[in-house]
Structures are given as C-alpha cells and as structure tokens.
Amino acid sequence: MTTDASVPNPQVPREARRRRTFAVISHPDAGKSTLTEALLLHARAITSAGATHGKAGRSGTVSDWMEMEKARGISVTSAAIQFEYHDAVINLVDTPGHADFSEDTFRVLSAVDAAVMLVDAAKGLEPQTMKLFAVCKQRGLPVITVINKWDRPGDTPLALMDEIQTRTGLLPTPLNWPVGEAGDLRGVLDRRSGDFLRYTRTAGGATVAESVRLDAADAAKEEGPAWASAVEESDLLDAESQNHDSELFLDGQTTPVLFCAAVANFGVQQLLDTLVEFAPPAEARIDIDGNPRKVTSPFSGFVFKVQSGMNSAHRDHVAFVRVCSGEFRRGMIVTHAATGRPFATKYAQQLFGKERTVTDQAWPGDIVGLVNASALRVGDSIFEDERVEFPPLPLFSPEHFRAIRPVDSSKHKQFRRGIDQLDHEGVIQVMRSEVRGEQAPVLGAVGPMQFEVVEDRMVHDFHADIRMEALPYQVARKTDKESALVLAGTRQVEVFTRSDGTLLALFSTPWRLQAIAKENPKLVLIDIANATADDFM
C-alpha cells in the first residue's frame, strides 16, 4: 500500500513528541562510554554493562565497537543507539571524546536536540568539554549536566556549581544533591521531593544498582551529619533560586545538574527520567534558507555520518540519516537534494551500536541507517515530495598532513578503494597534485590520531598495508587558480586539489603564510570553513 506524502500522517506529531535525541559530550576519560552503557542497562536495553577497560567478566561497550576503540578504551567514532524507556523512544548518539575527532563530534551535534555534558567530579570542566559546550551554545542545544565519579575523591559540590556558572554562563539548577562527600557517596537528596535515594552497590557495576527511597526523617536517622549537610546546602541553592525551570532550561539560560557514579550505576535512573521529562522532543528544524521545517511536513532528513566496516561479513557502508520531518517508510522513493536524483530506500536499518536490524518506519528525531546508498555524503539532504535542503556541514581546517603510499604496489586497487571510501565517509581529507601524481595522495587531518584510524581501517577493512610520511606543513588556506600559479613556485608552500575540487595551499608555518600574504596582497587565501579546528582544540 502506498502513502500519499501530501496528506499529513496523524501519527507524526505523536511519534515526534515521544522522541528524545541527544548526544553525550565530555573530555576524554570522564566516563562517557561507561555512562552510555549504564543508561542502556537501566532502560533494560542490555542485561549487563560493559567496561572500556575490560575488567574480568565484563564485555566491551555497545558504543565502542571498533577494534581500535576496544584496545585503547576511547571512542574514536560516533555511534547511534536507539532504545525505548517507558513511553519514550531514546536516540542516543555517542561522540568521540578526543579532540582529534572534533569534526565527527560537530556533525553529531548537528543531528541532536539536546546534550548531556559529563563532568569528572575531580577535574571539573576540562578544555575539550568547554569546546564542545561552545558548539552546543552556538547551536542552541539545551544542556543537562551530569557530575560523574562521585564515588571517588573530588571537588566539593558547591565549588563545582560555581565553576559551571562562571565558565559556561549557565545557572546550574541541581535536581539532586549528593549525600556524602566525593569518594563516600551514600546516595542523593531528591531536591523536588525532599526524599533520600540510597543506592545498593552491585559487583563491578555490571548490573542495575537498585535504589531505596527514604523520607527525610528516616534519612536523618540513618545518615546523620551527611544528610544534614546535604539539606543545608540544598537550602542554600533554594535561597539563590537555583531550582529547575523548564522554560529557562530550553532557552539556554540554565542547566539541570545530576550527581552520579556511572561505573557503579548510581544516579543513572534519574538521568533517564530527566531526559524523558525535560529534554525537548523532535521539533521543527531550520533549513538552508532559514525557514523552519515542521515535523508534520513530508519526509526529510540529512546525513551526518557515513560509516563502512560495521559488518565484517559484507563490504557495505551505512549513511546515518537524522529524520527531520514526516514519516520514513522503508522502500520509499526519496530525492537527493544535491543531485535532484531519486533513489529507493530499500535497505533501511535501525542502529544499536554496531548491531543493525531492519526497520520499516521511522519518525522525526530517529536515526536511520541507509545501507549502500553510495551517492550520499556527509551533509547531504534527502526529501520526499516537498523540496528542502538543510545547512551543509563545514569541513574543518586540517593542521596535520601525511603523504600516503601502499606498501605493496600490487595492491594499489585495494589502496585506492580504501582511500576513496575513507574520504567519502569524511574520516580524512584527501588531496592530490600534479607534482606528486595520482598515485601519491596527501591526507589532511584535524588531529594526528585520525591517521592512526586511517592505518587501522586500511589494514583491517581493505587489506592494504600503507606507509605515511609526515609533511612539513601546519596551515591550509583555500585559494584560486590564479593564486595557485603564483604559489606553485614559492618556497615552503605546496598547492593541492582536495577531492571536492577545492584548491588548498599548504604553508610550513603561520608566519610563512603571513609573510607571503604581505608580499602578495592580491593572493586569494581564505579559511576553509567558518568552523575550524582551532575552535575545538
């Protein structure tokens, strides 16, 4: 049975209201992947939580599925996970924590409606956390703050509240408050009800830690001075009007705060409840012309990620599509905004980390994996019936450069296919020049760890060993043909053509760039994109 896209589907607004689509952002080692596992555990989406550092008897995490991620205990690529919790559908997009993968994180933040900012209780707001918070602020994403690792020594809760307010400009409005100092977590004071939530430890935090709710009188008897201190500090917050207000939260003026210990599954249930109750559902998204695309409009979506190698049995690749409006139906014919060409969405899947299952329907806020939609690239828009195009995703300015060659020249076909695929996914920027020849591309990266991902993927996904040579360049600028002719004979400068046709001039140092620009004021030398690596590193 076919559906007339011009007739609004009454299910769309109801399903959109059920969606909560968010990303978890943090500095490396703040516990992001551990928190993701704990959320899945409490939502009963998994039965046992994994660990990023492989304790005995615990499996690897759902979101960190690449071998490199398992070995290092860090996230190097984003992962989409969908699960249900009560009557809500949660779309959680895990993000790489390391600054070298900021471009991937930026793409993820373009596809979500809210963010959970994870803060280490001992370290406070670290540099990468602040960089990512700035992106959330720029995009108008409401932020829920989670103070993690309260089961270990750390700063005082009031000091952390002061730091959040001073450095982010958001007024922290704690929903719960720790009972017991950092390193001696007894439970939390639920500030709305006044009750005490006492937690029961579980072996290794691999299973749900059940909580016991006590009223204030029983909590005072049981916890004594620790409870009295928590109540006193909560009263101070009341006096400063640091209480949750949904309107101010959605307007980006406040941030709800929760205290937890993700590795032990303490406080995770409250985070899920907070997301369902306070995080915004899928709503109208702004198109390239600045107009809101209502969720009830015919189907539209945009690609924020392309990934291959998720299924070792098949050499397919998956385009991650954020559904922005309307109903997605597997097999529907959609139009690719960049080319105007139609294609059928025959192979559509719901994502759960590396695992994928066929999905027949999806709604605004959902993430759909389109398998082998080879024409789709990061930033592309697709639609049914009513044309729409969403703002493109910028490329960051690369600051690290490597010349790359196959170790075995007889495997040049696998080498070329691998480089083209990684370029297509946006893992790396690929550049070529007449001087170096077609067989010796140059890779540009925001951070050096991206080259490690390239090497790992080339060996394991494409069976092509490579060797890379560091090039002595630090700065890239977009240029034109006339300027390229002048620069071609200039010392400590090299001109390349990026795979999208952009001419890039690479300079040995920022000072060399300044000197050349001063000597030749008519040269075209402009930043590659409005968002650059400097904004995130």
User: What's the mean pLDDT when you consider all of the chain?
Assistant: 86
Q: Pick out the residues of the known binding site for GTP.
A: 94-98
251 to each of 114, 137, 171, how far by Cα in Å? 12, 10, 12
User: Which one-letter amino acid corresponds to residue 428?
Assistant: I
Distance separating alpha carbons of residues 420 and 42, to the nearest angstrom: 40
Contact 21, 114 (CB under 8 A): yes
Alpha-helix runs per DSSP H in 303-357: none
pLDDT, tens digit, 9 for 90 and up, residues 216-241: 999 999 999 999 999 999 999 999 99
Write out the two tokens for 227: 């409870």
Query: Is the distance from CB of 25 to CB of 115 less than 8 angstroms?
Result: yes
CA-CA distance, 88 to 301, in Å (whole number)? Answer: 21
Distance in angstroms (rounded) separating the CA atoms of residues 520 and 522: 6
β-pair partners for 258: 146
Which H or E run contains 13? helix 11-18
Half-sphere exposure of residue 335, counting CA atoms within 13 Å on the CB side?
A: 13
Dihedral angle over CA of 188, 143, 124, 119, nearest 10: 60
Annotation: CATH topology of 285-383: Rossmann fold (3.40.50)
Contact by Cβ (8 Å): 381, 301: yes
371 vs 347: CA distance, rounded Å? 5
Residue 434, exposed/middle/buried by CB under 10 A (0-12, 13-18, 19+)?
exposed
What is the third-level CATH fold of 19-278?
Rossmann fold (3.40.50)
Taking the CA atoms of residue 34, residue 36, residue 42 and residue 44 in that order, the dihedral angle to the nearest 10 degrees is -120
* Rounded Cα distance, 90 and 85, in Å: 7
Tens-digit pLDDT profile for the chain (537 aa)?
445 555 668 899 999 999 999 999 888 888 888 888 888 887 766 554 443 333 333 344 444 444 544 455 444 455 788 889 999 999 998 777 677 777 888 889 999 999 999 999 999 999 888 988 988 998 899 999 999 999 899 999 999 999 999 999 999 999 999 999 998 889 999 999 999 999 777 665 566 667 789 999 999 999 999 999 999 999 999 999 999 999 999 999 999 999 998 888 888 889 999 999 999 999 999 999 999 999 999 999 999 988 876 555 555 678 999 999 999 999 999 999 999 999 889 888 887 656 778 889 999 999 999 987 888 999 999 999 999 999 988 778 899 999 999 999 899 899 999 999 899 888 899 999 988 887 889 999 988 999 999 999 899 888 999 999 999 999 999 999 999 999 988 999 999 999 989 999 999 999 999 999 999 999 999 887 543 434 333
Q: Which two tokens stand for residue 464?
A: 């092509």
Residue count (the chain): 537
Strand partners, 358: 349
pLDDT score, position 66: 47
Domain 19-278 matches domain 400-535 at the CATH topology level: no
Q: Which helix (H) or strand (E) holds 320?
A: strand 317-325
Please check whether residue 447 is in contact with residue 99, taking contact to mean a CB–CB distance below 8 angstroms. Answer: yes
Topology annotation, domain 400-535: Alpha-Beta Plaits (3.30.70)
Residue 95: closest CA among 28, 150, 19? 28
Which amino acid would we find at residue 96? P
Amino acid at 330: R
Which residue ranges make up the annotated binding site? 94-98
> 350: which DSSP letter?
E
Sequence spans of domains, the chain: 19-278, 285-383, 400-535
Bridge partners of 401? 444
